Amino acid sequence: MTVKLLSGTQLAATLREELKAEVSQFIDRHQIKPTLAAVLVGNDPASEVYVRNKHRASQSIGMNSQLHRLDSTASMHELLSLVNRLNADPDVHGILVQLPLPKPLDATSVLDSIHPDKDVDAFHPENVGRILQGRPRFLPCTPHGVQQLLIRNSIPISGQHVVIVGRSDIVGKPLAAMLVQRQCGYGPNAVNATVTVCHTGTRNLSEITRSGDILVAAVGQPRFITAEMVRPGATVIDVGINRVGDSLVGDVDFAAVSPIAGALSPVPGGVGPLTIAMLLRNTLVAAQLQATSRAGE
Ligand code: GUN
């Protein structure tokens, strides 16, 4: 069986082109440039790279991007004051606090302090609750990237068994909440899945993963998904990005799984580039929300 490679790099470029046109229309209509404010505390090298990529991608589609840096010794008071200032700034539409935060800063309190209308990560409890209830304000970036990768490759989701390995607040839990919905704006085949969420405490893990029509690996362990965990012909989505020596490897053993899977997303070049594209979409959605609520529409 030849595996179909699900390229996120190519899809992200298409999505950015679509967004660029929408951003241009929005600017013509409102004379407002959608603006994303990223907050970076300290100088974690991986976070520096993420923030730089986000900045470049925003510029490339005609959005504004601000970077607010705080020293790694910044206090909770300083960080919360910055978030409050950005919450109140009408020229800032989306706010992103780059994680992880240096110790002893408390990420939960900081994320809770971001105004829900500017929470482009969709991490605020109000936004998480809305996703669970099927009336999202913002879709969480990585899960939305996974969903788009499936939709745009004509892989049906409705009625399929989606097995997610990993229960994080950023990927596993919100992805399950999205795909289990009865309906969504992307049409009848984009949701309505039967979803199983597995984790480190799951018994008979391989038995369950082998029953997945779509298997999503989001555990954060290099090459965790081996050949015998995959049903022949299944679609396998690898969300992991693990540094092993000098290279980046996914949560899926790519060499072992590619002869078995029907479709497989590579690492790098799979889900990763889509996360940023979806963040930009959320920034446009935030700007649209704020422009219409200001105009009283
Ligand atoms: N650090 C790694 N991934 C993410 C993300 O999606 N959002 C934020 N804010 N920080 C991250």
Q: Where exactly does CATH 3.40.50.10860 map onto the chain?
A: 31-115
pLDDT tens, 166-185? Answer: 999 999 999 999 999 999 99
pLDDT tens, 1-12? Answer: 699 999 999 999
Catalytic residue among 117, 121, 238, 253: 121
User: What is the rounded distance in angstroms from the CA atom of residue 283 to the CA atom of residue 138?
Assistant: 9
Residue 43 CA to ligand 1 centre (angstroms):
14
Rg of the chain over all Cα atoms, to the nearest angstrom: 19
User: CATH classification of 139-273, choosing from 1.10.760.10, 3.40.50.720, 3.30.70.141, 3.30.70.1140?
Assistant: 3.40.50.720
Going by alpha carbons, the residue nearest to atom 3 of ligand 1 is: 99
Residue 247 has which token pair?
């290279």
Ligand 1 pocket, 96 CB below 6 A? yes
Residue 135 CA to ligand 1 centre (angstroms):
23
Residue 54 has which token pair?
């986000």
* Whether the predicted pLDDT of 296 surpasses 80: no
User: Which of 48, 99, 276, 283 for a ligand 1 pocket mutation test, highest count of atoms within 8 Å of Cβ?
Assistant: 99
* Whether the predicted pLDDT of 293 surpasses 90: no
Catalytic residue among 54, 117, 253, 290: 54
Q: Is 71 a catalytic residue?
A: no
Residue 50 CA to ligand 1 centre (angstroms):
8
**Given this structure, which CATH class describes domain 31-115?**
alpha beta
Residues 6+ positions from 224 with CB-CB distance below 8 Å: 165, 217, 240, 251, 252, 253
Going by alpha carbons, the residue nearest to atom 4 of ligand 1 is: 99
Q: Where exactly does CATH 3.40.50.720 map onto the chain?
A: 139-273
Q: What is the mean pLDDT of the chain?
A: 97
User: What is the rounded distance in angstroms from the CA atom of residue 93 to the CA atom of residue 77?
Assistant: 22
Ligand 1 pocket, 282 CB below 6 A? no
Cβ contact 148:187 at 8 Å: no
* Whether the predicted pLDDT of 35 surpasses 90: yes
- CA-wise closest residue to 29 among 277, 279, 288: 288
Report DSSP letters for 20-43, one per residue: HHHHHHHHHHHS---EEEEEEES-
Ligand 1 pocket, 181 CB below 6 A? no
User: What is the rounded distance in angstroms from the CA atom of residue 3 to the CA atom of residue 255?
Assistant: 11
Report, as an integer, the average pLDDT of 194-198: 98
Going by alpha carbons, the residue nearest to atom 11 of ligand 1 is: 99
Ligand 1 pocket, 128 CB below 6 A? no
Cβ contact 284:34 at 8 Å: yes
- Strand-pairing partners, residue 243, are 248
- CA-wise closest residue to 155 among 22, 280, 32, 3: 3
* Whether the predicted pLDDT of 225 surpasses 70: yes
Q: Is 98 a catalytic residue?
A: yes
Q: What is the pLDDT of residue 5?
A: 98
Q: Is 54 a catalytic residue?
A: yes
Ligand 1 pocket, 141 CB below 6 A? yes
Confidence of residue 297 (pLDDT cuts 50, 70, 90): low
Is 257 buried (19+), middle (13-18) or exposed (0-12) by CB count in 10 A?
buried
Q: Which atom of ligand 1 is nearest to the CA of 99?
A: 10
Residue 143 CA to ligand 1 centre (angstroms):
12
Cβ contact 260:227 at 8 Å: yes
User: What is the rounded distance in angstroms from the CA atom of residue 288 to the CA atom of residue 26?
Assistant: 8
Is 141 buried (19+), middle (13-18) or exposed (0-12) by CB count in 10 A?
buried
- CA-wise closest residue to 275 among 125, 128, 149: 149
Element (H, E) at 5: strand 4-5
Report DSSP letters for 163-232, one per residue: EEE---TTTHHHHHHHHTSS--TT-TTSS--EEEEE-TT-TTHHHHHTT-SEEEE-S--TT-B-GGGS-T
Report, as an integer, the average pLDDT of 233-244: 96
Ligand 1 pocket, 121 CB below 6 A? yes
User: What is the rounded distance in angstroms from the CA atom of residue 293 to the CA atom of residue 297?
Assistant: 6
Going by alpha carbons, the residue nearest to atom 9 of ligand 1 is: 98
Q: What is the pLDDT of residue 294?
A: 73
